[in-house]
Homo-oligomer: A and B are copies of this chain.
Amino acid sequence: MSDPSQTGASATGAAAATSSTTSSSVSVGTKIRQDIITGTHAPGSKLREAALAKQYAVSRIPVREALRSLEAEGLVESRPYSGSMVAPSPVEDAEDLFEIRIVLESATAKRAAKRSAEQSSGAAPDDRWHGVRKEISDILAEGDVVIEQERYEDLAVLNMRFHFAVAELSGSVSFISLLRQISGKIEWLYSLNVTRRGPQAWPEHREIIAAIDAGQEAKAVEVMARHVRRSRDSYFAMMAEKTP
């Protein structure tokens, strides 16, 4: 029925594996999220706890916990004693989601540039900074390889990882957690309509990181905002040609 392989490990779950234990609750959550994103559970359809429990071969308790998490992510809506249902399609909120990305990611880029300057001047050294900065270089390099081999599916994941890594460079846990909040809907949005802009967009990431490295806050904001705006325009262009 359901594939036994753990597909999970979405771009979001990049947390350091301090504890290898993955409670069945989060595992079920990952699967339900996947089923929502891929459309197996259609928007607006009811999510019955008993059915989900049977489907994923667990009791209702982990299912409930998973539903709560998904509710926080905005993928599920619940009402007491009335149950849960899949949230409306994120396509309705596409404009909002991109605007949120524009304002939030512009802010993280600005912060990252600021912190970069601080690192260079040695004002407030942070050991983790260099690690994250190196990870970004790795991501960019891996992206080149992936583009070379035309494995665009993997590029989407790398894209997510890049943007979250920039957020980490900003050093703001609040911004990171907010971005994580909407990442589910963003992923959902993209999966409904796989954009092929990846290869063209990739070089823009180097522009972004260059501005950050140079400590140019205004430039970083401008480049990041333009990058996300282009992503948005590409999305809507694709939507338009899909439904003429």
Contacts and interface: CB of A to CB of B under 8 A. Distances in A.
Interface stretch (A92-100, A132-140, A212-220, A236-244): A92-100
B19 A81 contact: yes
A72 B29 CA distance: 14
Interface centre among A18, A82, A174, A177, by most chain B C-beta atoms within 10 angstroms, is A174
Given A96-B172, A97-B174, A174-B93, A79 B182 contact: no
A153 interface: no
B80 A26 contact: yes
Interface in A137-181: 172-175, 177-178, 181
Interface residues of A, number: 35
A100 B178 contact: yes
Contact of A65 (B64, B96, B173, B181): B64
Q: In the complex, which of the residues A64, A103, A106 has the most CB atoms of chain B within 10 Å of its own CB atom? A: A103
Contacts of A174: 74, 93, 96-97, 100, 182, 185
A200 interface: no
A36 interface: no
A68 B76 CA distance: 15
